[in-house]
Amino acid sequence: MKTVEKVVNPVRRAGEQSPGRIYDEKLKVRARREWRGVKDTFYDYTRWLYLLSVLGRFILVPRNVKGFFRYRWMMSYLFVPHGMDKFTIGLRDEALRIAHTSFNFVIADVTQAIANCFRGDRRVGNDKAYSDKCVITDENSMVTFMMGFDRDKVHTILREVPTMFASNIFHQFNVMHYLDIAQQYGIPGDVCPMPEAEAGISIEDDFCVLGCCAVQNNTTCDGSLMGNGIIAKRLDREYGIPTFQLATPLRHKEPDVLEYAAQEIRNAIAFVEEHTGEKWDWDLYFKAARRVNYATKCRIAQLEINSTPYPQFFGAAFSLYNDTNYMGNSGRDPAFVGIDRKLLELAEQGYKAKRMYAGEYRHRAIVWGVQPQYVIDMLYWMVQCWGVVPLADMLSIINTDMIADEDTPENREQAYRDMAMLNMEMIMRNHTHGGYKVLLDDLWDLCEKMNADVVMMWEHMSCKALTGMHGMFEEQGRARGIHVMWVTHDLCDPRVFTRQAIRDQVNNYMRTVMREEPLDPSLENIPDNEAY
Amino acid sequence: MRDLKYLNYFEKLLQEANNELVAKAREDGKICVSYTCENVPEPLLNLGNCVSIRLSAPNTGSLDIATYYMTALLCEPSRALLERAIEGGFNFSDCVITPDGCTMMNRAVENMELLRTMGKDNPKFFHEYMEIAFKNTENDVNLAVLQCTNHILKPLHENYGVDVSDTAIRESVERHNRLCRVIRAIGEFRKGDRPRITGYEFHVLCLATYVCPKYLILDKLEETLEELKTREPDDRPWRARVLLVGSEVDDPGFVKLIEEQGAFVCCDRFCFGSYPGRTEIVLNDEEDALRQVCRHYVQNCQCPRMMNQEKVYSRKQYVAELAKEYSADGVIYEQVKFCDPWAYERTLGSSMLKLDYGYPVLSVDRPYNIASSAGQMRTRVQAFVESIEIKNIQRGGKA
Amino acid sequence: MKNLLKIPLYLLLIALGFFVVTFTVYFFNLDMKATAMLAPLLEKWYDRLERKQYI
């Protein structure tokens, strides 16, 4: 089997050495926060204060209080600071700052998204003028088709992000209720729980109701595509909100699907123009395109840093930021540029100082597949408990091509193809769909490029696109001498695999196959199965 | 009723994918074009010397090897096909053409390709994957034309020298239509109080049209049609008439099981059934045949994967119209286990058929081979039949 | 003038007090412990709300 050189951290971690001690099985949150040494604890404290100020400002608005008591999923946001702790387990120095910078920005963005939802929601703020300029989209929707609309005039509402996706990260049990509702109405328990929960939210009438129209997408999987029908029916028949289904071809590497996809983008734009009364602005589009390109350049630079012995970018905070930037933003908000720059500066600084996330790096891993929502701290845990450093995760391996960003007549036509390409190569589906090559061959190429000896394979058991290649991963990994460490889960249903059951799969592999002892034994068993 | 002359013959043909007619076609020098999804335009797979063979895995037992490759959570048809391919059951294929329709079936075929299960001795053998339409718009027709050109016509022509001209397509469509007319005419005998053919018998005949070379069975189907015209129906009344909707039913035993409980399967609206699969393709002389064939498939497609809301509603309306046309008392929505598209379609469809159209609905999932859970299914169907009878009594009708 | 000089001192004391209280809440995770106690009550509240389920 392939081996990599062990890298030992010459610097002892500041503060406490065994963060596993701060968990208490009697509590549903941690017994206390982590002591990270004076400097980093103080920094973490100031970031906590900042988060409280964001949440405080949100709840001072009366309609947000009304919304809080109307929607069950809002309870999750009480646990945002708890989420922050999950995102920063064991982190120090630049790593801590990278996690906070990205996480806090995402929180501010999600908080604004909830505030926008409540403002237009017919049951809460009922600001009709505002709602009439809102376009609802899916949680897994690339919003490229909104890049040329003025953000002050047309508001893109990714309604499912705060309702399901983000809320589940802070509160592991919160979607169980919606899954139960969906299954009560006959959807089987073996489909992907994410679109199933979203269908359950719709059935339960727990989505905010706003917008002049909605654009749905088939960007993820058969389940997501099918769940949209249930959601659209309610939007259409009960609330009178017309929906456009933006079809996105699956075989995105084939040139003969591009024109179809580009035409779908044209149709989606025309639909938004028709329902909002606003016009597409090419100047705005190309400005956004330049920001998309800047984010792409930053992402390429990040990958280069991670291919060295001192990787700086990984973990949930980073991948969540990437999701938000690439998919939910798509260059529309200039604020992301500053964050991109800051994150890269921090990483370069960390790389120059040879900062490490753990006492030693024994293995270099590519993380493939889809991570579970409720064990969001897993990658930080893996590096600190076992010294397996994640170099890249599948969800962050997205487009690296530049798109046309100068306004010329030819580029206006090219722009539709660029938007279509970005849409087709949306996070996750750019590997889970489009033929086996993007799922298998891309992985092995990445292992080579990043010098990885382990693939940490998230096997989301309901993701048929991934599990359908299970045997091939095994066989091809074996042929290449790369360890394939399977970690099975059910995305957002902790009843199927608990957090510890998920970690135990790594524990077992490391002990029985690798025959290693943990770097930090306090983390091997954490009593957080019942924690939020 | 007296047994149909060729029923036993057709039943035997369904016992294995590589049946005697497939072997005969190969002896005749035909090119066996294997496929896995109803959304691939069938006439294009039957051009010139080609015969389309829809892959199926009758009498599936163990799925151990396929489960290793694809895990236990992929739908049983996809695993059954992979298992059968690994066993060598599809070695008759000269190529496999698969749409990236439902993910699981696509993965099954990709595994077949990676494992080199077919075409080892045939240098011309190829796998092709197609994008298929998502909506019923003209943009989707354009997509279908391009995909059929690049992934069916070109490879067939380049590898096997198949004539893919407009004339050849028209000829193939005509042969296809002849078959459709026969099957639909046979299906008509399911109408009325005293049907002359059972749902099981019809299903056997219809299924054979997908898994056998059509040119070798057409005469027997036409003879069966003539036989039905004079066949004396049973006096025994059925307890209920049901319309069967859902995933592919490769095991006619499932339909037999339903009918053994007294529920006559009066119409089929499932993948590889006669609705919409055996609808004639009407061509005009103004437009090229390929585009018209593609438009037919895009417009008539009832696959749950068609995502625009107009299609979402019209699929249920289509079921309701069939139920009315065939005087169904109830609808059975079935889904083969782990099939994502039909899992959602079954949920929404069973709700809409009940609430919007007023039909009693039984919503079930089932294994690929019904023998593995016949008892459970029998109980579900019995209860459904009884509930329909009780409703009839409450309405003042006969039990 | 003397009183004016005291203002920074008061501000410093207030800031110090703020720091001591909030840092105690932060470090001992009192904010999340209180929230965890509140959550079951909220769940009961959400369970009681009337919903119009529709598919």
Tens of pLDDT, residue by residue over B323-360, are 999 999 999 999 999 999 999 999 999 999 999 999 99
- For residue C2, is pLDDT > 80? no
Mutation site for A-interface testing, chosen from B82, B309, B317 by largest number of A Cβ within 10 Å:
B309
Tokens of A525: 């068993």
Which position has the token pair 């119409």? B267
Q: Which pLDDT value is given to residue B61?
A: 87
Other Cβ atoms less than 10 A from the Cβ of B98: the count is 24
CA distance to partner chain C, nearest, from residue A313 (Å): 27
* Cβ atoms of B113 and A470 closer than 8 Å: no
Task: Give the neighbours of chain B: at least 3 Cβ pairs within 8 Å.
Answer: A, C
pLDDT digits 0-9 by tens, A40-60: 999 999 999 999 999 999 999
Share of chain B above pLDDT 90, in %: 93
Write out the two tokens for B147. Answer: 């995909």
- Mutate which of B79, B127, B131 to disrupt the A interface (most A C-beta within 10 Å)? B131
Q: Are C19 and A66 in contact (CB under 8 A)?
A: no
Distance from CA of B108 to the nearest CA of C (A): 32
Is A465 an 8 Å CB contact of chain B? yes
Residue in chain B nearest A191 by alpha carbon: B340
Mean pLDDT of B5-25: 97
> Taking CB atoms and an 8 Å limit, are A226 and B309 in contact across chains?
no
Stretch B193-220: mean pLDDT = 97
Give the chain A residue nearest C40 (alpha carbons): A75
**Sign of CA pseudo-dihedral A125, A131, A137, A143:** negative
Q: Is the separation of the CB atoms in A77 and A170 below 8 Å? A: yes
Which residues from chain A sit within 8 angstroms of residue C26, using beta carbons? 33, 45, 48-49
The 3-state secondary structure of A158-175 reads ECHHHHHHHHHHHCCCCC
Could you say which DSSP state residue A13 is in?
P
Strand partners, B332: B244, B362
Residues B154 and B47: beta-carbon distance below 8 Å? no
Shortest CB distance from C26 goes to which of A28, A48, A532? A48
Residue B398 has pLDDT above 60, yes or no: no
What is the distance between the alpha carbons of residues A275 and B95, in angstroms, rounded to a whole number? Answer: 47
Mean pLDDT of B259-271: 97
Would you tell me the crossing angle of helices B340-355 and B309-325 to the nearest 10 degrees?
Answer: 60
Amino acid at B295: R
Contact in structure between B301 and B133 (CB atoms under 8 Å)? yes
CA-nearest of A483, A492, A496 to A457 is A483
Is the backbone of residue A481 left (phi > 0), alpha (psi -120 to 50) or beta? left
* DSSP one-letter code for A149: S
State yes or no: pLDDT of B399 exceeds 70. no
Q: Do B108 and A264 touch (CB under 8 A)?
A: no
**Which residues touch A333 (CB under 8 Å, ≥6 apart)?**
A151
If we measure between CA atoms, which residue out of B209, B200, B230 comes closest to residue B43? Answer: B209
Give the distance from residue C43's alpha carbon to the nearest chain B alpha carbon, in angstroms.
28
Helix (H, G, I), strand (E, B) or coil at C52: coil
CB B346 within 8 A of CB B333: yes
- CA pair distance A11, A353, nearest whole angstrom: 11
Residue whose structure tokens are 């009843």: A495
pLDDT given at position A140: 83
Side-chain half-sphere of A230: how many Cα atoms within 13 Å? 34
Q: Angle between the A409-424 and A258-276 helix axes, to the nearest 10 degrees?
A: 100
Provide mean pLDDT across the span B209-222. Answer: 98
Interface test with B, best of A202, A259, A260 (most B CBs within 10 A): A260
Q: pLDDT of B59-74, one tens digit each?
A: 988 999 999 999 999 9
What is the least distance, in Å, from the CA of B353 to any CA of chain C? 12
Distance in angstroms (rounded) separating the CA atoms of residues A224 and A233: 15
**Is A37 within 8 Å of chain C by CB?**
no
In chain B, which residues have their Cβ closer than 8 Å to the Cβ of A187?
Answer: 343-344, 347
DSSP string, C4-32: HHHHHHHHHHHHHHHHHHHHHHHHTTHHH
Closest chain B residue to A195, measured at CA: B344
| Pure H helices in A369-441 | 378-386, 409-424, 429-432, 436
Least confident of A15-19, A306-310, C20-24: A15-19
In three-state form (DSSP H/G/I as H, E/B as E, the rest C), the secondary structure along chain B is CCCCCCHHHHHHHCCCCCCHHHHHHHHCCCEEEEECCCCCCHHHHCCCCEEEEECCCCCCCCCHHHHHHHCCCCCHHHHHHHHHHHHCCCCCCCEEEEECCCHHHHHHHHHHHHCCCCCCCCCCCEEEEECCCCCCCHHHHHHHHHHHHHHHHHHHHHHHCCCCCHHHHHHHHHHHHHHHHHHHHHHHCCCCCCCCCCHHHHHHHHHHHHHCCHHHCHHHHHHHHHHHHCCCCCCCCCCEEEEEEECCCCCCHHHHHHHHCCEEEEEEEECCCCCCCCCCCCCCCCCCHHHHHHHHHHHHCCCCCCCCHHHHHHHHHHHHHHHHHCCCCEEEEEEECCCHHHHHHHHHHHHHHHHCCCCCEEEEEECCCHHHHHHHHHHHHHHHHHHHHHHHHHCCCCC
Mean pLDDT for B236-256 is 95
Edge-first strand listing for the sheet containing A388-393: A388-393, A363-369, A454-460, A483-489
A228 touches chain B (CB under 8 A): yes
Residue A178: closest CA among A298, A76, A288: A76
Exposure string over A404-414, b if 16+ CB within 10 A, otherwise e: bbeeeeebeeb
Helices B340-355 and A222-233 meet at what angle, rounded to 10? 20
Are B154 and B130 in contact by the 8 Å Cβ rule? The answer is: no
State the sign of the Cα–Cα–Cα–Cα dihedral A345, A349, A354, A359: negative
Interface of A with B in 135-194 (CB under 8 A): 185-188, 190-192
Distance of alpha carbon A528 from the chain centroid: 22
Answer whether A45 sits within 8 Å of C23, measured CB to CB: yes
Q: Where are the domains of chain C?
A: 2-48
User: Is the sign of the CA dihedral B209, B214, B217, B223 positive or negative?
Assistant: positive
Yes or no, beta carbons of A188 and B365 under 8 Å apart: yes
Q: Does B348 touch chain C (CB under 8 A)?
A: yes
Asked if B341 contacts B305 with a C-beta cutoff of 8 angstroms, the reply is yes
Residue type (1 letter), A198: E
C28 contacts on A by Cβ (under 8 Å) = 32-33
Is residue A94's pLDDT more than 80? yes
Nearest to A393 by CA among A371, A418, A423, A415: A371
Question: Which chain C residues are within 8 Å of A81, Cβ to Cβ?
Answer: 31-32
Res B157: pLDDT = 98
> ipTM of this predicted complex?
0.95
Contact B343/C at CB under 8 A: no
The two tokens of residue B145 are: 């034309």
pLDDT at residue A219, rounded to an integer: 82
Kindly list the distances between the CA atom of residue B389 and the CA atoms of A18, A410, B354, B381, C41, in Å, as whole numbers in the listed order: 68, 68, 16, 12, 48
Out of A161-170, B124-133, B149-158, which region has the weakest mean confidence (pLDDT)? A161-170
Q: Which two tokens stand for residue A389?
A: 């450093």
**Interchain CB contact of B347 with C (< 8 Å):** yes
Mean pLDDT score of chain A: 95
Q: What is the pLDDT of residue A139?
A: 84
This prediction has a pTM of: 0.95
Q: How confident is the model at residue B397 (pLDDT cuts 50, 70, 90)?
A: low
Please judge whether A205 and C45 are an interchain contact, meaning their C-beta atoms are less than 8 angstroms apart. no
> Among B95, B87, B86, B92, which residue's Cα sits nearest to residue B116?
B86
What pLDDT was estimated at residue B77?
Answer: 95
Find out whether A467 and A459 touch, Cβ atoms under 8 Å. Answer: yes
CA–CA separation, B54 and B19 (whole Å): 12
Tokens in use for B143? 């997509």
Q: Are B17 and B211 in contact (CB under 8 A)?
A: yes
Q: Are B40 and B262 in contact (CB under 8 A)?
A: no
- Alpha carbon distance B167, B187 (integer Å): 30
Q: Which residue has the tokens 């899954």?
A: A179
Per-residue pLDDT of B278-335, as tens digits, reads: 999 999 999 999 999 999 999 999 999 999 999 999 999 999 999 999 999 999 999 9
Structure tokens, A435: 């033929």
* Shortest CA gap B347–chain C (Å): 9
User: Chain C neighbours among B 281-340 (CB < 8 Å)?
Assistant: none
Q: What percent of chain A has pLDDT over 70?
A: 100
pLDDT of residue B70: 97
Handedness of CA A36, A42, A43, A44 (dihedral sign): positive
CA distance A424 to A430: 7
Q: What is the pLDDT of residues A371-428, one digit of tens each?
A: 999 998 999 999 999 999 999 999 999 999 999 999 999 999 999 999 999 999 999 9
Rounded CA-CA distance A350/A70 in Å is: 44
CB contacts of B341 in chain A (<8 Å) are: 222, 225-226
- Contact with chain C for residue A290, Cβ under 8 A: no
Q: How far is C16 from chain A (nearest CA, A)?
A: 14
